[in-house]
């Protein structure tokens, strides 16, 4: 089901987020349902927020529940029984009253609503999730949150999580002493004060953004022990400025592959939104001649980013192989995708190009193969005869 942009006027950044979630969950849930008999979805800040549709197709939980029940139905048609449960938390009474009535819209899911603070019920939810279930967590708050109190969910052995990390919110209050304890809990176990040096005259908005993001990723890694953590930069509509990051953590190489594919689609949509909003702004000013250039500028910025990330991925691949000759391809590509915003298909092509240029050697590469197999070992340079 295509998302309706008309439902997102004035909150275009949510369209980018939901487009990512729909594409990511749609691809991943079918894979998960093929291996797990039970799937649990946890939404810690459900809302609904400004939904313009009676079926909640423009909300995170509405998108997730639709995709979960579709995956359940698909596998049922194949003779496979998959259970679906959803744990939805909303603190505000008015929003919870609306949330608690959605069960009839998704009869294929076992829905558990909670009128509480997510931090207060995380332990309870963790204990109620069916044994052996695969859990997908969405943590989408309006501000700060306590990472430690979410550890019962994040430390479960079979789970993935997407955070809405409100960088702009955290950055805005970073110098206020009264919020430092909140940052301590969100950046648990990380020396964020030493890494985000506010008094450094060489500090720039870009360097602070990178430091904030890496501190948060390290905190998430410490809490959940995830193998791969990546992010999507979601910008203010019509502006070249970060609104928030979607930070994704997983134990699975398949998950990071799906994540990057979905990210590329979301970034393309964001580029289109940026271009159209800039055109609308110029039209309002009567500067009609800038229409095409504004649209082209947004597209060029997106394509430039993709090109830079592909180049950075090739450099990282060479660095990893140089560090440890003879690694298998299946151990290399997920590490590159976790750090660089590239699709696996693009990294495969980059690996072939590096091989053809003689920078990398895959002794097992068969002539009929166009891309590397997961079992192939990778070496620096030309090492004929090495296995």
Q: Within a 13 Å sphere around the CA of 276, how many CA atoms are in the beta-carbon half?
A: 10
Indicate whether 133 and 87 sit together in one domain: yes
Q: What is the pLDDT of residues 118-135, one digit of tens each?
A: 999 999 999 999 889 999
Instruction: Inform me whether the pLDDT recorded for 46 exceeds 50.
Output: yes
Indicate whether 234 and 266 sit together in one domain: yes
Phi, psi of 383 (to 5 degrees): -125, 55
Instruction: Inform me whether the pLDDT recorded for 299 exceeds 60.
Output: no
Instruction: Inform me whether the pLDDT recorded for 69 exceeds 70.
Output: yes
Identify whether 386 is part of a domain. Answer: no
Instruction: Inform me whether the pLDDT recorded for 287 exceeds 90.
Output: no
Instruction: Inform me whether the pLDDT recorded for 302 exceeds 90.
Output: no
| Least confidently predicted of 33-47, 117-131, 216-230, 281-295 | 281-295
Q: What is the pLDDT of residues 138-151, one digit of tens each?
A: 999 878 889 999 99
What domain count does the chain have? 2
Instruction: Inform me whether the pLDDT recorded for 333 exceeds 50.
Output: yes
pLDDT band for 385, please (50, 70, 90 cuts).
Answer: very low
Q: What is the pLDDT of residues 158-169, one digit of tens each?
A: 999 999 888 776
Instruction: Inform me whether the pLDDT recorded for 320 exceeds 90.
Output: yes
Q: What is the pLDDT of residue 4?
A: 77
pLDDT band for 213, please (50, 70, 90 cuts).
Answer: very high
Indicate whether 252 and 264 sit together in one domain: yes
> Which of 223, 255, 278 corresponds to the end of one domain?
278
Indicate whether 119 and 201 sit together in one domain: yes
Indicate whether 214 and 318 sit together in one domain: no
Identify whether 385 is part of a domain. Answer: no
What's the rounded mean pLDDT across residues 288-311? 68
Identify whether 356 is part of a domain. Answer: yes
Query: Residue 313 belongs to a domain with what CATH number?
Result: 1.10.10.10
Indicate whether 342 and 262 sit together in one domain: no
**How far is CA 3 from its chain centroid?**
18
Indicate whether 229 and 288 sit together in one domain: no
Segments forming the whole domain that contains residue 294: 279-380
The mean pLDDT of the chain is 86
Indicate whether 26 and 118 sit together in one domain: yes
pLDDT band for 10, please (50, 70, 90 cuts).
Answer: confident
Q: What is the pLDDT of residue 151?
A: 96
Instruction: Inform me whether the pLDDT recorded for 289 exceeds 50.
Output: yes
Instruction: Inform me whether the pLDDT recorded for 376 exceeds 80.
Output: yes
Q: 185: exposed, middle or buried (C-beta count within 10 Å: 0-12, 13-18, 19+)?
A: middle
Indicate whether 255 and 306 sit together in one domain: no
> Which of 243, 259, 278 corresponds to the end of one domain?
278
> Which of 278, 293, 310 corresponds to the end of one domain?
278
Identify whether 97 is part of a domain. Answer: yes
- Report residue 276 as tokens: 């159209």
- Closest CA relative to residue 61, chosen from 81, 85, 37: 85
pLDDT band for 254, please (50, 70, 90 cuts).
Answer: very high
Identify whether 266 is part of a domain. Answer: yes
Separation of alpha carbons 176 and 375, rounded Å: 52
Indicate whether 110 and 24 sit together in one domain: yes
Indicate whether 93 and 221 sit together in one domain: yes
Q: What is the pLDDT of residue 348?
A: 97
Separation of alpha carbons 343 and 257, rounded Å: 7
Indicate whether 151 and 283 sit together in one domain: no
Q: What is the pLDDT of residues 155-206, one digit of tens each?
A: 999 999 999 888 776 666 656 677 888 889 999 999 998 888 766 777 777 8
């Amino acid at each position: 089901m295509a998302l309706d942009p008309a439902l997102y006027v004035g909150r275009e950044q949510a369209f980018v987020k939901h487009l990512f979630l729909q594409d990511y969950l749609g691809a991943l849930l079918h894979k998960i349902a093929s291996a797990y008999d039970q799937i649990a979805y946890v939404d810690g800040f459900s809302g609904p927020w400004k939904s313009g549709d009676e079926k909640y197709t423009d909300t995170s939980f509405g998108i997730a529940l639709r995709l979960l029940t579709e995956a359940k139905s698909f596998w049922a048609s194949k003779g496979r029984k998959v259970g679906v449960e959803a744990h939805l938390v909303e603190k505000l009474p008015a929003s919870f009253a609306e949330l608690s009535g959605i069960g009839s819209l998704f009869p294929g899911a076992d829905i558990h609503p909670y009128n509480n603070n997510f931090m207060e019920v995380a332990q309870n939810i963790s204990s109620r999730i069916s044994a052996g279930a695969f859990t997908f967590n969405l943590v989408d708050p309006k501000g700060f949150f306590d990472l430690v109190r979410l550890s019962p969910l994040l430390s479960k052995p079979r789970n993935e999580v997407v955070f809405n990390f409100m960088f702009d919110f955290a950055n805005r209050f970073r110098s206020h002493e009264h919020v430092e304890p909140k940052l301590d809990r969100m950046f648990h176990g990380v020396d964020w004060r030493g890494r985000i040096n506010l008094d450094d005259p060489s500090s720039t908005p870009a360097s602070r953004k990178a430091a904030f993001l890496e501190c948060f990723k390290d905190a998430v890694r410490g809490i959940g022990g995830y193998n791969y953590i990546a992010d999507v930069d979601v910008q203010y509509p019509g502006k070249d400025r970060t609104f928030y990051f979607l930070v994704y953590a997983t134990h699975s190489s398949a998950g990071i592959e799906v994540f990057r594919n979905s990210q590329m689609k979301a970034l393309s949509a964001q580029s289109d939104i940026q271009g159209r909003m800039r055109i609308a702004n110029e039209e309002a000013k009567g500067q009609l001649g800038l229409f095409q250039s504004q649209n082209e500028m947004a597209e060029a910025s997106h394509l430039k980013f993709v090109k830079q990330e592909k180049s950075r991925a090739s450099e990282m691949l060479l660095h990893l192989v140089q560090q440890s000759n003879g690694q298998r391809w299946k151990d290399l590509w997920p590490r590159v995708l976790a750090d660089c915003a590239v699709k696996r298909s693009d990294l495969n092509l980059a690996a072939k190009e590096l091989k053809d240029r003689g920078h990398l050697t895959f002794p097992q590469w068969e002539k009929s193969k166009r891309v590397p197999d997961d079992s192939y070992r990778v070496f620096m340079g030309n090492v004929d005869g090495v296995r």
